[in-house]
Every structure is written in structure tokens, then in C-alpha cells.
Amino acid sequence: MRSKLTTFIFIGMLGGIAVGYACNMLWPDPQTAKTISGYISLISDIFLRLIKMIIAPLVFSTLVVGIAHMGDTASVGRIGAKAMAWFVGASLISLLLGLLMVNILRPGEALNLPLPDVGASTNVKATSLSLKEFVTHLVPKSAVEAMANNEILQIVVFAIFFGVALAAIGEKGQTLTKSVEQVADVMLRITGYVMKFAPIAVFAAIAATITTQGIGVLVTYGKFMLEFYFSLAMLWLLLALAGFALVGGAMRHLLNLIKEPFALAFSTASSEAAYPKTLEQLERFGVPNRITSFVLPMGYSFNLDGSMMYCTFATLFIAQAYNVELTIGQQLTMLLLLMVTSKGMAGVPRASLVVISATLSTFNIPEAGLLLIIGIDQFLDMGRSATNVLGNSVATVAVAKWEGQLRTTDQRLDRDLDPVPAAAE
């Protein structure tokens, strides 16, 4: 059943490309195409709303249960510190790799495209990206507001307080702990129902994008996109090698398990859409629930590997296009700036573009250069989102390994590779 879902997702992608191309050819007028695309995207919009519907209660319930089962604040602090150490290291490597690849490949040179006027408006607001704003934003003004707005990091902060307090009251909290655990079980069951619509949503998302953008945009920006995806592939290789260093041959099983959330994130251009399935597959791999439910939500705010690599790659691409030369010192300063500003990406619409816009203005690079990539951002976001799934999966496994709580063994892996009985579904 699980492999069939992956197959159906890819069939949906191919079907979406075909239908989108046909619509783009039949209705070449941009306004008409936009209207038709809006109707097609209704399906994917509903799917993403269903995902958003379950994210907050799923994150809260699984995290509270995980912390309550840890039993003490020392464990929470230790696991959190190990997760943050991994996130900072992974962020640095992602940013450095983007910096290295864009300097080697030089995609902004010989672009053969008319450059937007330096005064052109991009309609991207580079606001609320300072360290002060980010730290203040960590703490919710209201737990209800945080859940209503799907502010994952704020939900994590509240859930940590709630879970620690629940563990501290001991026996008196057992009834509530069991109730929250039952809520988590219900949310996971609802997740299973929602995931059945994934292939149809993927079809609609791809068809809507191709209807408005057309296949031509892929040809025009083909070189840039190929070089970016080649760079992403280098990051995937590094993450996979890190996984092999941690768990050896078991990494192959992990890659097999996360191919569904990876494909889902890629085809919908949404890491959030893949969160419930990633959570489930990591637990199937052998990561305890108390670690998965704690580390994975943190990763969605602090460990967006693909998005961070894109920030350095795209910023220097625009600089190259406008012949703005940045010294090594300036590029390293940019990297350190992005280490901070990229942490505010979670929950911000078109977050990568917002961060890039802020960086461009800081280094006197024409902000109008964003217009070069806005048209293909959806296609680039597909790769970024999928990379975030891989990066957070490896990070969660790494923390479980360091804690000595990874239950995976070679013998259990052999059994897990067999088809899952229907009852387990």
C-alpha cells in the first residue's frame, strides 16, 4: 500500500504536467490561464488546508506525550541541545555548499535575459527578520493563537512547558497524559485519511502551476534550474553520507521509508504537507516517539537545509547577473547573516524570497533581481521542500543515535522490509 501511494504521487505529477501543458496551449491568454489555474488548484488548496488542520493538534499532542514520557527536564534539555548542535552544523554546511556551488557554476553570468530595472518593485516585504524579532516571536502571546496560525515553533514552546509540567505532577497527570496520547492516536488516524487524497492534490498542484507558467519557463531558466538541482543533489549526497556514518547500512532502509514524504514535499512544494508522514516513518524506522515528536517540529524551524542553501545560491546568482562582485569577506559575512535571518523563515509566506530580499538590500545588490527568480520559485521550492524532509529525517535519527535510543537493528530491518500486514495499516 505504501509503495503504491508513492507510485500514485508520481503518476499524479506526470498527469499534472500533461494537463497543465494542454491548458496552457488551449488558453494562452494569461488572465484566462490564471482563472483556470485557480479552479484546478482548488483541489490542492483543500488538501493543504486539511494538512494545516491537523498540524497543530498533531505537533502539540505528540510532543506533550513525548516529553511527559521523558520524565525529567534534564532529558528535555539534553535532547534539545543535541538537536540544536546538529541544526547549526547542518545549516552551516548547507549555506557553505550553496556558496561554493554558485561560485563554481556561475549561473548568473551570460544569462541572456533582459535584467529588470534596478528600481522595479518586487512586492516582497523584507520585514521582521531581525534577531530581536525572531527571539520575541518564539514565545506565543496565546497558545490558542499559535495553534490557530499554525506557528509550529510557538506550539513547540508551549508544548514543552505543558509536557514538562505534566511530567512534574507525576501520578496526578497520568489521566491527562493518557488523554493526550489518545488525541495523538486519533490525529495520526486522521492523517492516514488525509494522505489518501495526496495523489489527486499533487496532480492539481502541478497542473495549476504549468497552466499559468507554461513549459517554456523551464526552458528559459533551464540552466539555472539544472545547476541548482545539481547543487541540491550534492547536499542530498552529503546528508545521506552523514546518515551512513551514523547508522551504517540501515540508512538504506531510512531512505526507503522517507521516499513517500520526500515525494509528497517535492510535488506539493510544501514541507508541512509531508510532516505527518515523516513523523510516522521515522517511528517505523525505530526512533522513539518522544524524540521524533520533539526534534522534528524543531527541525521545521531551525533545520531548513534546502531553503538555506537556496538563500546563498540565489543571492549570489542575482549579484552575478548584475555584475556585482562580492569579496570573500563579504560572502562570509552574508553567510553569517543568513545563519541568523534564515531561522525566522518558518511560518513566513514565501519565506526564502523574504530572506533573500533582506540580504540583497544589506549588500547593495539590486532587489529587482528577485524578479528573475519569482517566476520559477514554485519549481525551485519543490526541491527545497524535499531537501528539508531529508535533512530533518537524518537530524532526528542522529539525535536518537546519540541518545542511545535508536531501536533499529539489522535483523529488525529485514523484517520491516517485508510488506506491512493489513491490520498494521
Report pLDDT for 114: 63
User: What is the reported pLDDT for 411?
Assistant: 38
Q: How far is CA 348 from CA 85, 125, 306, 352, in A?
A: 24, 11, 16, 9
pLDDT in tens, 39-64: 888 888 888 788 778 878 887 887 78
Q: Write down the pLDDT at residue 2.
A: 47
The 10s digit of each residue's pLDDT in 220-235 is 677 888 999 999 999 9
Q: Is the pLDDT of residue 414 over 50?
A: no
Give whole-number Cα distances, 326 to 43, 118, 268, 329, 332, in Å. 44, 18, 35, 8, 10
Q: What pLDDT shows up at residue 244? A: 93
- What integer is the mean pLDDT of 124-141? 64
Per-residue model confidence as pLDDT tens digits over 372-409: 787 677 778 888 889 989 999 999 999 999 988 888 64
pLDDT at 126 over 70: no
Greatest mean pLDDT among 184-188, 353-357, 401-405? 401-405
Cα–Cα dist 127/361, whole Å: 12
Report d(CA 78, CA 6) in Å as an integer.
36
- Which among 299, 247, 262 has a CA at the least distance from the CA of 63? 299
pLDDT band at 30 (very low <50, low <70, confident <90, very high): confident
Q: Which of 295, 392, 301, 390 is nearest to 351 (CA)?
A: 301
348: which 3 cell numbers?
513566513
**Secondary structure (H, E, C), 135-153:** HHHHCCCCHHHHHHCCCHH
More confidently predicted of 310 and 173: 310
pLDDT digits (tens, 9 = 90+) for 78-115: 888 898 899 989 989 999 999 999 999 988 886 766 66
